[in-house]
Chain A
Amino acid sequence: MKRISVTVNGVRHEAEVEPRTLLVYFIREQLGLTGTNVGCDTSSCGACTVHLNGQSVKSCTVLAVQADGQEVTTIEGLATNGKLHPMQQAFHEEHGLQCGFCTPGMIMAAVGIVDENPDPSEAEVREALEGNLCRCTGYHNIVRAVISGAKASV
């Protein structure tokens, strides 16, 4: 076992983990933050996307021990004082979800896209979402939501 200290959504957590524990399972099972989903477990679908030191990553492809001493933000960490993050609000208003399974990962990826490119075109959004799959295939509204969320985030 390894002792790690990870700051998740601004709160520091000290924990014992096996080195082979994937970050996503640490977040879901040890911290009980189940907003982050596991879709494919093969690094393809993006459902597990969280931010590691401010950058979007697939948490099924990061070890919890690699996050030792680092900062993680999950979907639960986006809202402030009970008010949805502009990107969450945009997904709500533009119907950017159907079953909602891909949504936490989509929103975390979307926030990452807008951090790097505050005013993305539709084509840029589609390209930057290439690591996130939606089995309900609601891509049109997802793309619309990201663009609207980008405008609301400035």
Chain B
Amino acid sequence: MIPAAFEYERPSSLAEALKMLSEGGDDARPIAGGHSLLPLMRLRLARPSLLVDIGGLADLRYVRDEGDHIAIGALCTHHELASAQELTGGCRLIAQVARQIGDPQVRHRGTIGGSIAHADPASDLPAAVLALDGAVVARGAGGSRTIPAADFFLGPLMSALEPGEILTEVRVAKRVGCGSTYEKFQRRAQDWAIVAVAAVIESSGGTISNAAIGLTNMAGTPIRASGVEEALAGAASEEAIAEAAGRVSEVGTPLPDQNASSEYRLHLAEVLIRRAVANAMS
């Protein structure tokens, strides 16, 4: 399967990339790792006229401790994030998630910026960034803006990025002293999540003081299970955690697909939340 024809440019700076995108018109697109875009192009579900290859922009490849948050350059690969030393405390979640994406070959190419920009509801990193009260930085011809993750994902493959904008950085809260985990349910190795749960838990002596729960593939965008989070605060027993997990039904009815009915998805989410909370606390 060969993609439809397109033009290809490789800019040597972010400024040049932005210029190429704005001059390239509506059908120009950035390509980072290409591991979501090229599969779509091979199926001709995407037919960009121009690809601006930002993959070589080394200055978008960093993980930095910025005091109150961690800043991750958009071009960090899943492989790099899986072992990034700067990801400690609650934001170790990003490494835990990156390690579970696809397979080693996919992790060598795929980037966090591409994963977030693509806004696939089955993608793993979006729910993690959401659970860490994250934000993304977008640069366009007119300058730079910061978009909270909670406002970024608009629907399946739809985000708040404007045409011509490049996502340059992902920011996540450090959540010092928190435990985290990502429970991903899949039928076969290498598969996408049927449902997955990202949990960031603050607790002491077995009592939860604060919980953030992000859900993958439970809606058209990644979502937070706010009812569960509310009920988890103060929970101090397995029973209380189980009861809190039951409130996942408040997120609404997830769509069925060939992998799972709506009921099964809700059941999975409830079970995975229980497991995720227990693992994040251990």
Contact = CB atoms under 8 A, between A and B. Distances in A.
Contact of B55 (A19, A56, A66, A131): A66
A56 B108 CA distance: 7
A43 interface: yes
Contact of B104 (A41, A42, A52, A131): A131
Given A52-B108, A65-B53, A131-B190, 4 more contacts: A63-B51, A109-B105, A130-B104, A131-B106
Interface in A90-131: 109, 112-113, 116, 127-128, 130-131
A87 to B, nearest CB: 15
B105 A44 contact: no
A61 B34 contact: yes
Given A19-B51, A44-B190, A55-B79, A61 B38 contact: yes
A85 B68 CA distance: 49
Contact of A128 (B4, B8, B104): B104
12 contacts: A20-B6, A20-B41, A22-B38, A41-B42, A42-B42, A46-B103, A57-B109, A61-B35, A66-B55, A112-B104, A130-B189, A131-B105
A14 interface: no
Interface in A10-65: 18-20, 22, 25, 41-44, 46, 49, 52, 55-58, 61-63, 65
Chain A binding surface, main DSSP class: mixed
A113 B104 contact: yes
B17 to A, nearest CB: 15
A2 interface: yes
B254 to A, nearest CB: 25
B105 A56 contact: yes
A101 to B, nearest CB: 17
A71 interface: no
A132 B106 CA distance: 11
Contacts of A58: 105-106, 109
Given A41-B42, A61-B34, A66-B34, A20 B2 contact: yes
Contact of A20 (B4, B108, B109): B4
By size class, the interface of chain A is 20 to 34
A62 B189 contact: no
Contacts of B34: 61-63, 66
B278 to A, nearest CB: 22
A2 to B, nearest CB: 6
A57 B2 contact: no
Interface in B24-41: 31, 34-35, 38-39, 41
Given A44-B190, A127-B189, A109 B55 contact: no
A20 B7 CA distance: 8
Nearest to B55: A66
A2 B106 CA distance: 26
A127 B190 CA distance: 9
B3 interface: yes
Contacts of A68: 10
B53 A131 contact: no
Contact of B105 (A22, A41, A49): A49
A124 to B, nearest CB: 11
